A and B are shown apart, each in its own frame.
Chain A
Amino acid sequence: DTEVTQTPKHLVMGMTNKKSLKCEQHMGHRAMYWYKQKAKKPPELMFVYSYEKLSINESVPSRFSPECPNSSLLNLHLHALQPEDSALYLCASSQVLVMDRGSPPQHFGDGTRLSIL
């Protein structure tokens, strides 16, 4: 079991639907991430939140809207998605900084498998 919990595990939606993906962690991490992963490819970074503020948006289309309501929760709101948006959406979390030790490790959830009809 991972310490980053994502719901739902599977989601099928039409191109006109609005849905949300949810991510929760209780490790006290203050950095949270959304990634998109296509089959047989590495995860691609979409968004980074640090201390509940959006710090990185990797030029993601506006049909994806992230939200970080508190330090434990991260949401990804979906609207008017396209078939090419079908993928595994992964959430990760990490400490913001590891003093004198460089980059902190990121811990991933098991993702939401999203299919767009």
Chain B
Amino acid sequence: QQQVKQSPQSLIVQKGGISIINCAYENTAFDYFPWYQQFPGKGPALLIAIRPDVSEKKEGRFTISFNKSAKQFSLHIMDSQPGDSATYFCAASRRRTSGSRLTFGEGTQLTVNP
């Protein structure tokens, strides 16, 4: 029940294209769904996040779509750029009295070709 399944494992997109990464979860106690972007040699950076009371959140070229009934959420990167090439992790979080507990997907290696 704590799993978050992420796909695809790797993704190659042409510059200007749309990158789509999907995640699915099982535990309905999750109440926060962040996406992290990680470049080589760096820590994961919080990219965008959504709570289950909304179905979509957009920040610039990045959009999260959230389907509560299907227990799925996805990241869309519009007008993908070579600088977007990185590893993307979806995650789901349960609130605890001592902070939060993140469950990560396995990650997607995105390559955007010029």
Contacts and interface: CB of A to CB of B under 8 A. Distances in A.
A complexed with B: yes
Interface of A: 2, 4, 6, 31, 33, 40-43, 45, 48, 50, 55-56, 88, 90, 94-97, 101-111, 113
B interface, by DSSP: helix, strand, loop or mixed?
A: strand
B101 interface: yes
B97 A103 contact: no
B46 A106 contact: yes
Identify the 9 closest CB pairs spanning chains A and B, nearest first: A31-B99, A42-B104, A50-B98, A102-B31, A55-B98, A103-B32, A103-B100, A103-B93, A108-B43
Contacts, number: 87
B7 to A, nearest CB: 14
Contacts of B44: 43, 90, 108
A45 B41 CA distance: 19
Given A103-B32, A105-B46, A105-B49, A31 B98 contact: yes
Max count, chain A CB within 10 A of own CB: residue among B96, B100, B106: B100
